Amino acid sequence: MGGIVDPFSPLVFRNGVEAPNRLVLAAMTNQQSHADGTLSDVERDWLVRRAAGGFGVVTTCASHVTKDGQGWPGELACFDAAHVPGLARLARDIAAHGALGLVQVFHGGLRADPTASGAAPWTAKVGPDVPGVEPGTREATGADITRVIEAFAAAAARCEQAGFGGVELHGAHGYLLTQFLSRFNTRDDGWGGDLEGRARLVREVTRAVRAAVSAGFVVGVRLSPEDFGNAAGLDLDESVQVARWLVEDGVDFVHLSLWDVHRNTTKRPQEHAVEVFRAALPPEVPILVAGKVWTRADVDAMLAKGAAGVAVARAAIGNPDLPALVREGAEPERPPFAPADLEAKAVSAPFVQYLRRWKGFIAD
């Protein structure tokens, strides 16, 4: 147990970098950037408004490290030098409000959108038993794997060049790194099969990223501990072992994407995921946690279980000043939200349109 922890005390990462508080804006899909992956004004405004609202860490949406990894239209990219000027503007404006800026870097794998990327999706393993595989999805070649490892490292270096404080490797939610970790990855070439083989890609990516950036640049990983939604073929104890290995490989934090922090694990219903991972990882490696966090009570409960930081997604959409509400113990606004109200809070029309897929989130 973490005991009583002040959410507004500094969040210290393994490499010594500090964020001013323990409230984290989680990465969220929003479809607000330009078609070529460069930063738009509305994407910038969305993130900077939350930095101004007091979040200690502000994380971008998932940003693809190769063109063929693009998951959706309007996605912020980091695979080319042409993306650096926009990233630099965003990093500067986030930092101006005292927040630590992170770029969430990822590859969509089988969840990449060929209409946006212009390329066929590829993944760890293709077969009738592998969930989510659509016609036209191909199996990764050795060249694909080598290329994507190099791409993650180059993308992280661009983010550091742009002035960001760090990156979060997206190893959750059924994207490429998760697809390799999944038990559905039955490759027999050393990149699948047993856990060591399935974890090889995320480990090699982590090592390459760590080698491509300075010691003062934060490198973390987001994991889905168990099956949920698009994440399939995951086991709690295997995920703990993966986290241990990634700590050996140099990550500065582990971010658990739980979807609902109020629920214990599926495999061991008497235990909470934060407590499981906290007991397994060195104390100097902070654990972040996300999933239906809205109130001060939610934040305090996660910090008491051993989380070092609490990541907020949906609650931050309609409450850009959520940290002030947490400090005061005040109740945040909840859905449904009127589009005009959200647009006044730097949530653009494309983002509002995307949010309509969340039942009851947008008022008719």
CA 170, 172, 173: angle at the middle one, nearest 5?
Answer: 120
Q: What is the pLDDT of residue 58?
A: 99
Is 162 inside a domain boundary? yes
Q: What is the pLDDT of residue 73?
A: 97
Is 34 inside a domain boundary? yes
Is 292 inside a domain boundary? yes
Range of the domain at 315: 11-333
Q: Of 170, 190, 151, whose CA–CA distance to 26 is shortest?
A: 170
Is 346 inside a domain boundary? no
Distance in angstroms (rounded) separating the CA atoms of residues 356 and 115: 21
Is 283 inside a domain boundary? yes
Q: Of 114, 95, 116, 94, whose CA–CA distance to 31 is shortest?
A: 116
Do strands 23-25 and 18-19 pair parallel, antiparallel, or not at all (unpaired)? unpaired
Q: What is the pLDDT of residue 3?
A: 58
CA 343, 349, 351: angle at the middle one, nearest 5?
Answer: 95
Assign 3-class secondary structure to the chain. Answer: CCCCCCCCCCEECCCCCEECCCEEECCCCCCCCCCCCCCCHHHHHHHHHHHHCCCCEEEEEEEECCHHHCCCCCCCECCCHHHHHHHHHHHHHHHCCCCEEEEEEECCHHHCCHHHHCCCCEECCCCCCCCCCCCCCEECCHHHHHHHHHHHHHHHHHHHHHCCCEEEEEECCCCHHHHHHCCCCCCCCCCCCCHHHHCHHHHHHHHHHHHHCCCCCEEEEEECCCCECCECCCCHHHHHHHHHHHHHCCCCEEEEECCCCCCCCCCCCCCCHHHHHHHHCCCCCCEEEECCCCCHHHHHHHHHHCCCEEEECHHHHHCCCHHHHHHHCCCCCCCCECHHHHHCCCCCHHHHHHHCCCCCCECC
- pTM, whole model, 2 decimals? 0.98
Q: What is the pLDDT of residue 364?
A: 81
CATH, residue 73: 3.20.20.70
Distance in angstroms (rounded) separating the CA atoms of residues 221 and 172: 9
Judge contact between 96 and 137, C-beta under 8 A. no
Provide the CB-side half-sphere exposure for 102 (13 A, CA): 34
pLDDT per residue, tens digit, the chain (364 aa), is 445 899 999 999 999 999 999 999 999 999 999 999 999 999 999 999 999 999 999 999 999 999 999 999 999 999 999 999 999 999 999 999 999 999 999 999 999 999 999 999 999 999 999 999 999 999 999 999 999 999 999 999 999 999 999 999 999 999 999 999 999 999 999 999 999 999 999 999 999 999 999 999 999 999 999 999 999 999 999 999 999 999 999 999 999 999 999 999 999 999 999 999 999 999 999 999 999 999 999 999 999 999 999 999 999 999 999 999 999 999 999 999 999 999 999 999 999 999 999 999 999 8
Q: What is the pLDDT of residue 1?
A: 44
Q: What are phi and psi of 106, to 5 degrees?
A: -160, 170
Number of domains observed in the structure of the chain: 1
Q: What is the pLDDT of residue 2?
A: 45
179 CB-near residues (< 8 Å, 6+ apart): 109, 110, 123, 124, 125, 185
Judge contact between 27 and 255, C-beta under 8 A. no
The two structure tokens encoding residue 102: 């992170």
Distance in angstroms (rounded) separating the CA atoms of residues 253 and 262: 21
Q: Is the previous residue joined to 336 through a cis bond, with omega within 30 degrees of 0?
A: yes
Distance in angstroms (rounded) separating the CA atoms of residues 73 and 84: 19
